[in-house]
Structure formats: structure tokens, C-alpha cells
Chains A and B, each alone.
Chain A
Amino acid sequence: MSTTAASPATPPFVELRDVALAYGATAATLAVERLNLAVADGEFVAVVGPSGCGKSSLMKVVTGLWPPSRGRVTVDGTAVKGPLGIVGMAFQNSVQLPWRTVLDNVMLPLEIVEPHASRLRRERRSYEAKARDLLQLVGLAGYDRQHPWQLSGGMQQRASLCRALIHDPRLLMLDEPFGALDMFTREELWGVLQDLWIARRPTVILVTHDLREAVFLADRVLVMSARPGRIVAEYTVPFPRPRTLETTYLPEFTELTHELRRLIAEARVGVAPEVSS
């Protein structure tokens, strides 16, 4: 099965070639192996797979937090050697700093990423206005002076999305951002995320356990095998945007999630070939 969907004319924005990542001190266990992946600029890709298939390793490798044991990772045409300022991240845990207000949490990346960090002191007002605009966009208007622990889990996750986007990242890495939320909040935030993506068009890699979430949000869904993880299947999602919750009740939607479900069940029992080097 092919894993590259980007048209040959434009080089992919994110590309992984034959990437392996060994885990632990002894490097005995491979989290991912022979991982090939290409994501076009502005594309929304979801990665699904059985638990422990190395989806988080994929996140770490692409963001430059961990160097791959083997293979090549390129983002925007250059090899990844370390953390990149053009990446925004959000996790299952919203990881807010409890001593900062919601506004100051959202503005945290601006204190680190250039050119914002050196401008922040002089242009604080305009940056604050920008942060407030983002908070309004996700439905948190009026909460900027609160502390994160005064908000519900869903609201914290909205703030976390704002923090991931404040420095206008070209690549958004989302590691099960809605995994800890109830279904209604989750579905609501799908809409929020889709709106943000349509408005700004960053490249998004979303790692998730939720197949409906993957199909609802992504242009393309990639299925990973059990550890060591590889991409074993890929589906292009045909539904037009903006998608609504009605989309999730279409028979084609159910069919696609059903098919993904079947593939993951296979991947879990290890039908995918285990390769050792």
C-alpha cells in the first residue's frame, strides 16, 4: 500500500523516510520501524492504531524532541535536527501552568519562539489582543484573567489549542488532544478545531484512538501496525468541508470507521508482519 499522497510536483511538508526509533537504555525494543510518511503542506492527517503502536514516538520524532535511531525526518525541506519553532503541540493532558492566568498560558510560546520573543516586550498589547481573539474563537472570551484550574477539562483543552496556535505554527502536532473529554465536549471541539484549521490552514498531524474523530477531522487517515509501528493502510476521506455532526451519521462515514476498526483489530492481533533487523 502506498503511503505518499502528496502530488509529485510539490514536495511534502513533512516527510519520514525509513525511520526507526529504539526505546530504552539497551535500545532493544523498537517503537517504530521502517516508518514512511509524507504529509502535504496544509494537509490534515490523522494517525490511528492499536494502543502502544508508537504513535507518541511518531510525535517525538517529527517535533525533533527525540532523534530517530535510523532514517530521515524532514520538515519544510530541511532535515530535523532538534526542536522547531514552527511546531505547535497539544496533548491529552492540557498541561497548563497553574501559576499563570489563561491569557499568560496561551502567550507562553511567544516568550520562547523568535521573532516573537524579542518583540513581545514592545508589542505586548497587540500580542495580547491576538491571544484574546484566539480565546474568543474557541469560546473562552472573558476567561483570560482566570487561572486554568478554575476551568473545566474541556475549557482547559480549548486554552491548550490556543497555546498551540498562538505563534502561527505551520505544523500542528496533536497527541490525543480530546482523549480525556466526554463525548459531547469532544464533538464540540472537533468543530472548533475544524474551524481553526479552515481559517489558518496549518499542516496538522493528529494522533488519536478515536476513529470517528479521525474520519471527521482528517483529509487522510493512516493506520499504524502494532509495535514496532509502521503505516499499514491509508484512507482518503471524501466528505466535503465544513463537516458537521450530520456527516458522522452518513452511511459512508460509518462504513469508513467500520473498515478502520477492522484493520486495527487485525493490527492488534499481529497480522501485520513483524520485522526484525
Chain B
Amino acid sequence: MSDLPSVMPPDPDEPLPFEHTEKMSERLRPLLPWLVMGAFLLLWEAVVRLFHIPVFLLPAPSAVAASLIEWAPQIRDNALATLATTVAGFALAIVFGVAGGVTIGSSATLYAAFYPLLIGFNAVPKVAIVPILVVWFGIGAVPAILTAFLISFFPILVNVATGIATVEPELKDVLRALGASNRQIVAKVGLPRAMPYFFASLKVAITVAFVGSIMSETVASNVGIGSLMMTASARFEVPLVFAGLVVTAVMGILLYLVAEAIEKRVVGWAMRGHR
């Protein structure tokens, strides 16, 4: 009975059928974002020059670039300070978000008990918390780190909890029938399955972490990009304000790319449709 048909393992180097089509547009694709960005900057520059918009209302990209060069040392120092506070808050958010997500995701009771409270916390505008943090911790890096943490913690927790809570019952049965403990089920199935959710949330969280730290810096710090932008706007150095925005955007994109690179390595299995 064991005359099974010999199925050959697939050859990974063999091109898929129809792969030769759309070669041209595929080669152009990595360039497209740069082309769009360049066109956007050109349009911006043209509009400012054409309508003679004063520099304290909307500086042209060239003026922003000049300001970036002129204030490079100050921008670098403050950007590094902001990066450090953001990454610190973000790291805290990962630790507590994953721990909390695993805890409430693996127990329906805890989920029901804590979820409403967490939603309530998340609904509070974080700007309103900064003054309280200043009262508790004074002006400086601590309120900025905590604001970044508070704002980015929730998406991570919710996503990890969702990933763990939605494990297929059959998958759990396979393990439970073998005598696996709850801890083993979470370790072998819950956590790996929550990873795609976790990375999706990281990409949201890292962006909002910057919102948190910069927001706190604008009102409660003497260092950081937020503080620099406040000072610059008080002195009508509008190109410098824009330079701060550009630097923030670049930092956000860089951290996003880091998260995405790790994601591709760790959860490539979840993106099998996009190969």
C-alpha cells in the first residue's frame, strides 16, 4: 500500500510563471518614494517663491536646509537627547506592554477585569498628564520619557493581548490534549502567534512615542527637539522650527525601518502572501 507518488521538493530558484511581466515597473518601484518626495519639495519651493510667502509664515525647503546647516550642532545635540528619551520610553512601553498583553491576553477573566480600565487610561489626553508629571518629577527628561511610555504602551498591550486571546481553539486542544500547562501553551503558541500583532503595534507605537516625548519637551524641558522648536518659534526663527520637524520625521522613519527590518526576520512566515 505504500507506493506513494514521489513528489519532488520544489526548487526555490525556479522563477514563478508570469514573473517576467511588469519587470520595468518593479525596477522603478524603489525609486518611486524619492521621486514623489522630490516633486513635493520642488512644488513647495515653487509655491513659496511664486507667491512671495514671508519666511516667518512658511519657509521654503531651501531656507529650512540652510537653517539645518547653520544650527547643525544645536540640532544634533537636541535630536540625540530626544532620541534617547523616546527610545527609553519606547523600551519601557515594550516591556510593560508585552508583559501586560500576555497577562490579560491569556486569561479571559483578567481581560474582562482590566480592559475597561485600560481604555479609560488611554482616553485621557496625554498633554493633560504632563503637568502632573512635572509636579511629581520636575522639569527634564523624566516627564518626557514617561509621556512617550504612556502614549505608546497601550497599542502594544492591546495588540499582544489580541494575538494571544485569539489563538485557535484547535491549536490549544492539540497542546492541552498532550498535557501542556497554560504557561506552555502561551510560550509555544500564544507568543509566536502574537508576534505579527506585536510588530504591527511597534510601528504605530514608535511614531506616537515621538509625539509623546516632543510634546512633553515643549512644555517641560530645556533640552530636546521640542524645547528647541519652542525657543525657535519664540524668536521667530521659523526655518529652525521646520528643521526640527524634518529631523523628527527622519528619526521616526529610521526607527520605523529598524522595527520593520526586525519584523521581516522574525515574522516572515506571517507575510507569505507578499513574497
Name A residues whose Cβ lies closer than 8 Å to a Cβ of B: 63-65, 82-85, 87, 89, 91, 93, 95, 97-99, 108-109, 111-113, 137-139, 142-143, 146-147, 149-150, 155, 163, 167, 173, 188, 191-192, 194-195, 242, 244
Contacts and interface: CB of A to CB of B under 8 A. Distances in A.
Interface stretch (B37-45, B69-77, B134-142, B172-180): B172-180
B1 A64 contact: no
Interface in B1-44: 1-2, 4-7, 9-10
Contacts of A97: 171, 188-189, 192
18 contacts: A64-B177, A65-B173, A82-B179, A83-B180, A87-B178, A95-B168, A95-B170, A97-B188, A97-B189, A111-B188, A112-B188, A139-B2, A139-B5, A147-B272, A149-B272, A150-B10, A163-B174, A191-B2
A83 B170 contact: no
B182 interface: no
A65 B177 contact: yes
A91 B170 contact: yes
Contact of A194 (B1, B6, B170, B269): B1
A244 B1 contact: yes
B113 interface: no
A173 B7 CA distance: 28
A63 B177 contact: yes
Contacts of A149: 269, 272
A89 B272 CA distance: 27
Interface string B145-182: 00000000000000000000000101101111111100
Interface of B: 1-2, 4-7, 9-10, 168, 170-171, 173-180, 184, 188-189, 192-193, 195, 267, 269-270, 272
B2 A113 contact: no
Given A64-B177, A93-B170, A191 B189 contact: no
A215 to B, nearest CB: 16
Given A65-B176, A139-B4, A195-B2, A147 B269 contact: yes
Nearest to A138: B4
Nearest to B267: A99
B171 A87 contact: no
A85 B184 CA distance: 14
Given A97-B192, A149-B272, A112 B175 contact: yes
Contacts of A244: 1
B173 A112 contact: no
A89 B179 contact: no
Nearest to B184: A112
B192 A142 contact: no
A84 B168 CA distance: 21
Contacts of A137: 2
